[in-house]
Structure 1
Amino acid sequence: MRTREDVLEWLSALLAFGIKPGLSRMEALLAELMIDPDAIPTIHVAGTNGKGSTVAFLREMGVAEGLQVGTFTSPYIIQFEERIMLNGVPISEADLVEAANVVQAAILKLEPVIGALTEFEALTVLAFYHFYQIRPDFVIYEVGLGGLYDSTNVLKQPKAAIITSIGHDHQAILGDTLQEIALQKFGIIKQGTRVIAGKLQEELTVPLMAYCGDRQASLSWSQEVIRDYRLSATGTWATYEGIPETRLGLEGMHQVHNAANAVVCAKQLGWSKTAIRRGLRNATHPGRFEIISRKPRIILDGAHNPEGVTALVERLKEESKPVVVLCSILRDKDRKAMLRQLREVTPDIYETTFDFPRARTLEELEMDGAKAMELNSFFKEVDTADKTLIVTGSLYFISTVRTLLKAQSFTKKGKH
Structure 2
Amino acid sequence: MIQTYDEALAWIHGRLRLGMKPGLSRMEWMMDRLDHPQEKIKAIHVAGTNGKGSTVSYIRNMLQEAGYKIGTFTSPFIETFNERISVNGKPISDDEIVSLLQVIQPLAEELEETELGGPTEFEVITAMALHYFGEASDIDFVIMEVGLGGRLDSTNVINPLISIITSIGFDHMNILGDTIEEIAGEKAGIIKRNVPVITAVEQPQAIEVIGTIAKEKISPFYQLGQDFFILGHHANEGESFTVKTQNKTFPNLHISMKGAHQVRNASLAVLAVHMLQDTGAVQIEERQLATGLEKTKWIGRFEEISKNPLVILDGAHNPEGVNSLVDTIEAHLKGKDIHIIFSALSDKKLDTMIGQLEKIAKTLTFSSFDYPRAATTGELYENSSAGESINTVDNWQEAVEAGLERVSSVENAALIITGSLYFISEVRRFLLN
Instruction: State if a TM-score over 0.5 links the two structures.
Output: yes
TM-score by length of 1: 0.94
Q: Is the 8 A contact 2:45 2:145 kept in 1?
A: yes
- 1:152 maps to 2:155: yes
Q: Higher mean Cα deviation, 246-255 or 393-402? A: 246-255
Q: 1:253-289 CA distances to partner (integer Å, 9 max, x unpaired)?
A: 1111000100110000004222321221111110110
Q: Deviations over 1:169-192 (max 9, x none)?
A: 000000000000000000000110
**2:69/2:141 contact within 8 Å kept:** yes
Residues 389-408 of structure 1 mapped to structure 2, 5 A cutoff: 389-407=415-433
Q: Is the 8 A contact 2:341 2:400 kept in 1?
A: no
Matched residue, 2:129: 127
**Residue of structure 2 aligned with 1:226, choices 210, 220, 230:** 230
Deviation at 1:363, TM superposition (A): 4.3
Aligned equivalents of 2:90 and 2:381: distance in 1?
Answer: 42
My pick for the range that moved more, 277-286 or 202-211, is 202-211
- Root-mean-square deviation over aligned CA pairs: 1.4
Q: Is the 8 A contact 1:222 1:264 kept in 2?
A: no
Change (3 A) 1:92 1:67: same
Provide the identity percentage: 40
Correspondence 1:153-302 to 2 at 5 A: 153-155=156-158, 157-223=159-225, 224-232=228-236, 234-241=237-244, 242-270=249-277, 271-272=283-284, 273-302=286-315
The verdict on how the C-alpha distance between 1:258 and 1:341 changes in structure 2, with shifts beyond 3 A counting, is same
Letter in 1 for 2:357: L
- Contact 1:199 1:257 (8 Å CA) reproduced: no
Q: How many angstroms apart in 2 are the aligned matches of 1:110 and 1:205?
A: 38
Give the match for residue 314 of structure 1. Answer: 327
Which whole-Å deviations, capped at 9, do the CAs of 1:364-403 have from their partners, x for residues lacking one?
4455556210212213334121421111111111001011
Aligned to 1:17: 18
2: CA distance, partners of 1:220 / 1:275: 23
- Give the whole-Å Cα distance in 2 for the aligned partners of 1:376 and 1:208: 43
Distance 2:250 2:63 in 1: 16
The correspondence for 1:330, drawn from 345, 351, 356, is 345
Could you say which residue in structure 2 is the equivalent of 1:48? 49
- Work out whether residues 68 and 86 of structure 1, in 8 Å CA contact, stay in contact via their aligned partners in 2: yes
Q: Is the 8 A contact 2:254 2:290 kept in 1?
A: no
AA aligned to 2:231 is R
Report the residue type matching 1:288 in the other structure.
R
Letter in 2 for 1:316: I
CA contact (8 A) 2:37 2:135 kept: no
1:414 is matched with which residue?
none
Q: What SS does the aligned partner of 1:74 have?
A: coil
CA distance in 1, matches of 2:201, 2:15: 35
Instruction: Describe the SS at the equivalent of 1:372.
Output: strand
Which letter maps to 1:380? E
1:115 CA drift (Å): 1.0
How far apart are the structure 1 equivalents of 2:86 and 2:397?
A: 32
Give structure 1 stretches of 5+ with no counterpart: 408-416
Mean CA deviation greater in 118-127 or 320-329 = 320-329
Deviations 1:217-237 (CA, angstroms, capped at 9, x unpaired): 0011234231221112x2211
Q: Distance in 1 between matches of 2:381 and 2:179?
A: 31
Counterpart CA distance in 2 for 1:311 and 1:324 is 17
CA contact (8 A) 1:297 1:388 kept: yes
The 1-side partners of 2:153 and 2:210 are apart by 19
Measured in 1, the distance between the counterparts of 2:68 and 2:374 equals 40
1:380 counterpart = 2:401: yes
State the Cα distance separating 1:154 from its structure 2 match. Answer: 0.7
1:339 aligns with 2:354: yes
Q: Which amino acid aligns with 1:332?
A: D
Confirm or deny: 8 A CA contact 2:111 2:119 kept in the other structure: no
Q: Is the 8 A contact 1:33 1:106 kept in 2?
A: no
| 1:393 maps to amino acid | G
**Equivalent pair of 2:300/2:424 in contact (CA under 8 Å):** yes
> Match for residue 144 of structure 2?
141
Q: Does 1:356 align with 2:371?
A: yes
Deviation at 1:251, TM superposition (A): 1.2
Range with greater deviation from structure 2 (64-73 or 109-118): 109-118
2:113 alignment partner in structure 1: 112
**Bigger shift: residues 295-304 or 235-244:** 235-244
Task: Decide whether the 8 Å contact of 2:54 with 2:298 is kept in 1.
Answer: yes
Runs (5+) with no aligned partner, structure 2: 278-282
Residue by residue over 1:67-121, the C-alpha shift from the partner in whole angstroms, topping out at 9 and shown as x without a partner, is: 1110000011111111110010101111111001110011112220131211101
CA contact (8 A) 1:45 1:163 kept: yes
Distance 1:149 1:89 in 2: 28
Aligned partner letter, 1:342: L
What number of residue pairs does the alignment pair up?
405
